């Protein structure tokens, strides 16, 4: 599942946007610094207001200028003892004198005809008022700032119970079914909801009741959120999107309050879709053993159940929820009248993958050798998100290689990276370790190529990738929905092929088969405990490997007796030992092919599935011609 291009930015949610650093109805935080700066500027300007800049000289130079007859007049400030005088040339100068002029100085002024004007300067109005009012202004400003701060904090606390849902209105281009690739059956399931939202009176006249809630169930990355948004886009109604974790907060009762606010907001819109992603975070089964009836999560779920019962089917509000764990949801949430309908959004099939790939490669420059059919067949089990990542990785490989187009080889590299991990070229193995890894992977590859029910071999490599020292990749030819016992048994033989190859060649085991043994044991356990594939145990099943949540199953007693547990362990061991014997006989009978595949891996590091088949055919004729020289074991 994919979207044509990047998703549109979320439209406004009906509320006034908030600018950074600014709350509703409040001044910006930097406004207080501007006020302080203005006050300081006024203080400085008040002291020097009305004064002109003058050249300052010493008092001795001033007296010499008077004796020379250059001074025409002077002003003496009684407060600061500053003398401002004007020369006959018109130039203004100043100096600092004594507290009072001496008689000799006065006689000198009188003899030279200097006009003496004693003055007493007073500060300006601003400078005289600021010392009086500035302390009061500072105190008043401090209390005003404290009041605003407390008001904003109280406003944040009071709004904590408001819903965090994002509203997508019809004012902006919305997502429609044309943006959703594949999944024709899913679109048919939700068409009734679209028709009801477009014309609810048509259903009311007949007396039909449209489902109040639609639960989208599917693995991660299959596009459940995209489908819900496409329903809103097709119906042309507002779309309120929220995740299950948005309801939970550290304060008690916040979740229930946000649920009420969410439904109230939807009722004001008339017809609307409420979408809750990951609803299993608040919709899990109640009474799981922890928290009791006053658990915050349970109270939130109770409020949601009450709200879903509070509106009729003709109101025009439809709930759509998404989860990948429907087995842990509370039964009260899934009963008729709440989430009436469950729509399964599975992993895309072959045709769906082709449509998804076509959408993602539409705006990328593709080479002529890129075949979408081949890529889709080689990506079974991938979700829409995985396919989008695959196309992007292929484009990145093209850019790294300096290519102008994305080729089929780039898609092969991208698929190897997605399935096997990043190649660790810097990792250096010793010759003995490389030989052990080569025989290990050759054992897997030989079993996969020879067993009739195993998935076809795609390639085998001894280049370290991800956490593995070597990888054997199998790609199924067809989509499998039911796994037969012969297919599972052959799969177990392939898993054990690496370990048995090491024992056959080196007469010892290593830690390289730990992951294979874990997977093989898990598969054999499911065969006995869940799939009824044991003759002694019979058609009995004891639960799955579901995850423990909120204390559920913590105190649960075992459903079978100790004797049955012993039989189960014996049957699991019997299955694994039987498959090990099959694997040993297969590798022993084809020892020449095993050596030939290992030698080619040591030489080329990567061998394709077709090359492995060719090597097996060569090995069948090798004993007669004596052309095979087995690799010497370390």
3-state secondary structure of 363: coil
User: How do beta strands 317-323 and 272-277 pair?
Assistant: parallel
Contact indicator for 491, 444 with CB cutoff of 8 Å: no
The C-alpha angle with vertex 396 and arms to 392 and 400, in degrees rounded to 5, equals: 175
pLDDT exceeds 80 at position 99:
no
Provide the pLDDT for residue 560. 76
Residue among 232, 192, 190, 225 at smallest CA distance from 343: 190
Residue 220 near residue 385, CB atoms below 8 Å: yes
| Residues 31, 23 contacting (CB under 8 angstroms) | no
Give the model confidence (pLDDT) of 497-526 as tens digits: 999 999 999 888 888 888 899 999 999 999
User: Does the structural domain 166-344 have CATH classification 3.40.1440.10?
Assistant: no
**Cα(47)–Cα(130) distance, integer angstroms:** 11
Contact 87, 69 (CB under 8 A): no
Please give the Cα distance from 341 to 231 (Å, whole number).
15
Whether residue 291 is predicted with pLDDT greater than 50 in this model: the reply is no
The pLDDT tens digits for 127-147 are: 666 677 777 777 887 777 777
Structure tokens belonging to residue 519? 């997977």
Instruction: Please compute the mean of the pLDDT values over residues 102-108 and round it to a whole number.
Output: 76
**pLDDT tens per residue across span 166-193:** 555 544 446 777 777 877 778 877 787 7
Nearest C-alpha neighbor of 534 from the set 526, 543, 544: 526
Alpha carbon distance 183, 185 (integer Å): 5
Confidence of residue 600 (pLDDT cuts 50, 70, 90): very high
pLDDT of 527:
92
Q: What is the pLDDT of residue 149?
A: 66
Token digits of residue 443 = 């054992």
Structure tokens at 483: 């796994």
With contact defined as beta carbons under 8 Å apart, do 608 and 459 qualify?
A: yes
Does 380 score more than 90 pLDDT?
Answer: no
User: DSSP string spanning 270-323?
Assistant: SSEEEEEESGGGT-BPS-SSSSGGG-HHHHHHHHHHHHHHSS-TTSSEEEEEEE
Hey, where are the domains in the chain? 50-123, 166-344, 350-420, 431-543+557-625
Task: Output the pLDDT for position 12.
Answer: 39
- What gap in Å lies between CA 249 and CA 172, rounded to an integer? 31
104: which 2 tokens?
Answer: 């000799």
Distances (CA, A) of 498 to 11, 390, 597: 55, 29, 13
Please state which of the ranges 10-19, 475-484, 587-596 shows the lowest mean pLDDT: 10-19
Q: Is the pLDDT of residue 396 over 80?
A: yes
**CA gap 196, 236 in Å, rounded:** 12
The top-scoring range by mean pLDDT among 69-73, 394-398, 412-416 is 394-398
Q: Using the 8-state DSSP alphabet, how is residue 465 labeled?
A: B
Q: Which CATH architecture has domain 50-123?
A: 2-Layer Sandwich (3.30)
Q: What distance in Å separates the CA atoms of residue 600 and residue 614, rounded to the nearest whole number?
A: 12
Structure tokens at 467: 């956490």
For 551, left (φ over 0), alpha (ψ -120 to 50), or beta? left
Neighbours of 189 (CB within 10 A): 17
Long-range contacts of 285-289 (CB under 8 A, 24+ apart): 285/328, 285/329, 285/330, 285/331, 285/550, 285/552, 286/330, 286/332, 288/549, 288/550, 288/551, 288/552, 289/550, 289/551, 289/552, 289/554, 289/555
- In angstroms and rounded to an integer, the radius of gyration of the C-alpha atoms of the chain is 42
The mean pLDDT value for 394-404 works out to 89
* Residue pLDDT, tens place only, 19-53: 344 444 445 656 666 766 776 676 565 555 445 45
Q: Which of 296, 298, 441, 502 is catalytic?
A: 441
At residue 196 the predicted structure's pLDDT band, cuts being 50, 70 and 90, is: confident
C-beta separation of 387 from 357 below 8 A: yes
Task: Quote the tokens at residue 11.
Answer: 């439209």
Query: Which pLDDT value is given to residue 487?
Result: 92
Report DSSP letters for 149-161, one per residue. Answer: HHHHHHHHHHGGG
What is the CATH architecture assignment of 350-420? Orthogonal Bundle (1.10)
Report the pLDDT averaged over residues 276-304. 70
- CA 266 to chain centroid, in Å, comes to 27
75 is a catalytic site residue: no
CA–CA gap between residue 158 and residue 376 (Å, rounded): 53
DSSP codes joined into one string, 221-244: TS-HHHHHHHHHHHHT--EEEEEG
Strand, coil or helix: 127: helix
Q: What is the mean pLDDT of residues 60-70?
A: 80
- Asked if CATH classification 3.40.50.620 holds for the domain at 431-543+557-625, the reply, yes or no, is no
- Which comes out higher in pLDDT, residue 84 or 436? 436
């Amino acid at each position: 599942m994919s979207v044509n291009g990047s998703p549109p930015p979320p439209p406004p949610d009906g509320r006034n946007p908030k600018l950074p650093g600014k709350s509703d109805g409040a001044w910006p935080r930097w406004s207080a610094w501007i006020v302080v700066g203005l006050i300081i500027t006024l203080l400085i300007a008040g002291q020097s207001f009305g004064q002109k800049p003058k050249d300052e000289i010493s008092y001795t130079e001033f007296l010499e200028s008077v004796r020379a007859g250059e001074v025409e007049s002077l002003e003496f400030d009684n407060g600061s003892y500053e003398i401002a005088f004007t020369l006959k040339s018109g130039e203004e100068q100043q100096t600092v004198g004594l507290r009072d002029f001496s008689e000799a100085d006065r006689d000198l002024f009188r003899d030279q005809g200097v006009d003496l004007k004693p003055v007493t300067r007073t500060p300006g109005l601003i400078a005289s008022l600021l010392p009086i009012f500035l302390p009061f202004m500072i105190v008043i400003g401090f209390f005003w700032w404290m009041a605003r701060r407390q008001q904003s904090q109280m406003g944040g606390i009071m709004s904590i119970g408001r819903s965090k849902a994002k509203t997508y209105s019809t004012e902006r281009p919305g997502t429609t079914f044309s943006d959703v690739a594949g999944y024709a059956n899913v679109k048919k399931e939700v068409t009734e909801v679209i028709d009801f939202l477009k014309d609810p009176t048509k259903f009311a006249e007949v007396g039909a009741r449209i489902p109040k809630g639609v639960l989208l169930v599917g693995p991660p990355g299959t596009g459940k959120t995209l489908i819900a948004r496409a329903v809103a886009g097709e119906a042309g109604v507002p779309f309120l999107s929220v995740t299950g974790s948005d309801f939970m907060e550290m304060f008690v009762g916040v979740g229930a309050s946000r649920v009420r606010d969410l439904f109230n907001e939807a009722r004001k819109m008339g017809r609307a879709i409420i979408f809750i992603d990951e609803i299993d975070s608040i919709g899990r089964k109640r009474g799981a053993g922890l928290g009791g009836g006053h658990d915050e999560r349970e109270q939130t779920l109770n409020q949601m159940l009450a709200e879903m019962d509070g509106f009729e089917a003709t109101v025009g509000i439809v709930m759509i929820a998404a989860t990948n764990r429907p087995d842990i949801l509370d039964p009260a949430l899934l009963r008729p009248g709440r989430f009436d309908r469950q729509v399964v959004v599975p992993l895309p099939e072959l045709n769906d993958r082709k449509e998804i790939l076509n959408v993602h490669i539409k705006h990328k420059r593709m080479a002529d050798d890129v075949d979408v059919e081949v890529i889709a067949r080689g990506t079974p089990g991938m979700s829409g998100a995985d396919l989008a990542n695959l196309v992007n990785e292929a484009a990145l490989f093209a850019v790294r290689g300096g290519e102008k187009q994305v080729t089929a080889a780039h898609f092969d590299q991208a698929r190897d990276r997605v399935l096997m991990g990043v190649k660790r070229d810097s990792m250096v193995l010793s010759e003995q370790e490389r030989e052990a890894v080569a025989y290990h992977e050759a054992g897997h590859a030989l079993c996969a190529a020879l067993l009739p029910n195993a998935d076809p071999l795609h390639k085998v490599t001894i280049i370290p990738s991800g956490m593995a020292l070597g990888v054997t990749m199998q790609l199924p030819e067809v989509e499998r929905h039911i796994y037969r016992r012969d297919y599972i048994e052959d799969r177990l033989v392939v898993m054990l092929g690496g370990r048995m190859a090491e024992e056959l060649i080196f007469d010892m085991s290593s830690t390289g088969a730990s992951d294979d043994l874990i997977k093989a044991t898990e598969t054999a356990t499911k065969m006995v405990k869940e799939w009824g594939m044991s003759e002694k145990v019979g058609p009995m099943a004891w639960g799955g490997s579901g995850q423990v949540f909120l204390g559920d199953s913590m105190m649960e007693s075992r459903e079978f007796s100790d004797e049955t547990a012993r039989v189960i362990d014996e049957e699991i061991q019997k299955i694994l030992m039987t498959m090990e014997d099959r694997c040993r006989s297969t590798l022993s009978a084809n020892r020449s092919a095993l050596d030939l595949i290992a030698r080619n891996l040591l030489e080329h590091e990567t061998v394709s599935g077709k090359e492995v088949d060719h090597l097996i055919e060569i090995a069948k004729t090798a004993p007669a011609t004596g052309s095979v020289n087995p690799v010497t074991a370390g």
